[in-house]
Amino acid sequence: MTTGPLSGIRILEVGTMLAGPYATMLLSDLGAEVTKLEPPTGDISRRVGDAYFASLNRGKRSVVVDLTSEAGQAKLGELVAGAHALLVNLKPSAIRRLGLTYDVLKRFNERIVCVAVTGFGMDEEEKPAFDYVVQATTGVASLTGDPGGPPTLPGYSAADNSTGLTAAFGLLAQIVSGRGGQIEVSLRDVMLSQLNYRASAYLNDGAVPQRRRGGAHPYYVPAQLFPTAEGHLALFVTHDGFWASFAAEAGIAGFPTMAERAERRDEVLEAVTRALAGDTARGWEARLLPLGVPAAAVRTLPEALAESPDAIVTAGGFRLIGSPIRVAGYEPDHGPPPRLGEHGGRP
């Protein structure tokens, strides 16, 4: 078995809750040595619950460092001198106050990569910035839900998770460059980036985004959730070949081109809804997948996990979702989440 692709890379984390710890856990899964620098009271996510903390911190080390003290700052310098990167997710004022920027830390290590994960950016007005707040601020919530209902949030932390992924990518990019430096990643910028084609349609064509029933795609028709005789079906028809196969199976005539289906959206959706009422979501999935038509019955999380046992790992007695990055010949060592101060500076 090979070692992880990030074996030998040492990363420090001053992280709380989700975005920062998720970023560094992904890097740990790939073989990096990640050390959490925690205050004497610990990362506040420890108080959410053991399973919550484990889901974001497996395989890491924990060192207690009071960064507000002179001794803590001296310890920070020692750790930075031997590290490749430091990832922080705190308010900009706290990041500066605690000296967690490249400008401050380069005296210990000119090649240190400092990643600041914030809500709106290091130089923007400092406002409370949590996942749901950012989804509201960036327009994501306004695009989610049925047109006649209220704005809706997804059932998981989309902004925090997406920002964690982006921060890990930025950190690695700067390490590969061989240069130290400051990296900034904000929840706001990440979520706006993920609105790519929606934002482009407005910025270039003045097309104001609107919510559609069933989460319908603005361009592809039919591409949304549909009710069936039992359960809901996600159908995603992105080209005419998919439509031809689906329409033949569903007994629908006409609408052969994407342009026509987009122009006659309401008629298409009425015909599809009527046809899908003739079978269950699971039944349609079984009929359409062999034809190559993208379709899936909506599952609950327990159902999805039962069907994906290979995605589940065990780490220190906790059953968790493993890394989404699978490297041939390498199996991550899913260590337990660290006890507070387990690797130094016990409170």
Same domain, 37 and 68: yes
> How many separate domains does the chain show?
2
Tell me: the pLDDT tens digits for 115-130?
999 999 999 888 888 9
In a domain, 241, yes or no: yes
Q: Does 327 fall in a domain?
A: no
Q: Are residues 114 and 178 in the same domain?
A: yes
Q: Do 183 and 244 sit in the same domain of this protein?
A: no
Domain residues for the domain of 290 are: 213-227+232-297
Per-residue pLDDT of the chain (347 residues; tens, 9 = 90+): 579 999 999 999 998 999 999 999 999 999 999 999 999 999 999 999 999 999 999 999 999 999 999 999 999 999 999 999 999 999 999 999 999 999 999 999 999 999 999 999 999 888 888 999 999 999 999 999 999 999 999 999 999 999 999 999 999 999 999 999 999 999 999 999 999 999 999 999 999 999 999 999 999 999 999 999 999 999 999 999 999 999 999 999 999 999 999 999 999 999 999 999 999 999 999 999 999 999 999 999 999 999 999 999 999 999 999 999 999 999 998 999 999 999 998 76
**CATH number of the domain within which 267 lies:** 3.30.1540.10
Question: pTM here?
Answer: 0.94
Asked whether residue 154 falls in the same domain as residue 88, the answer is yes
Same domain? 186 vs 221: no
Report the catalytic residues.
160
- Confirm whether 113 is domain-assigned: yes
> 266 and 162 in one domain?
no
Q: What is the 3-state secondary structure (H, E, C) of the chain?
A: CCCCCCCCCEEEEECCCCHHHHHHHHHHHCCCEEEEEECCCCCHHHHCCHHHHHHHHCCCEEEECCCCCHHHHHHHHHHHHCCCEEEEECCHHHHHHCCCCHHHHCCCCCCCEEEEEECCCCCCCCCCCCHHHHHHHCCCHHHCCCCCCCCCCCCCCHHHHHHHHHHHHHHHHHHHHCCCEEEEEEHHHHHHHHCHHHHHHHHHHCCCCCCCHHHCCCCCCCEEEEECCCCEEEEECCCHHHHHHHHHHHCCCCCCCHHHHHHCHHHHHHHHHHHHCCCCHHHHHHHHHHHCCCEEECCCHHHHHHCCHHHEEEECCEEEECCCCCCCCCCCCCCCCCCCCCCCCCC
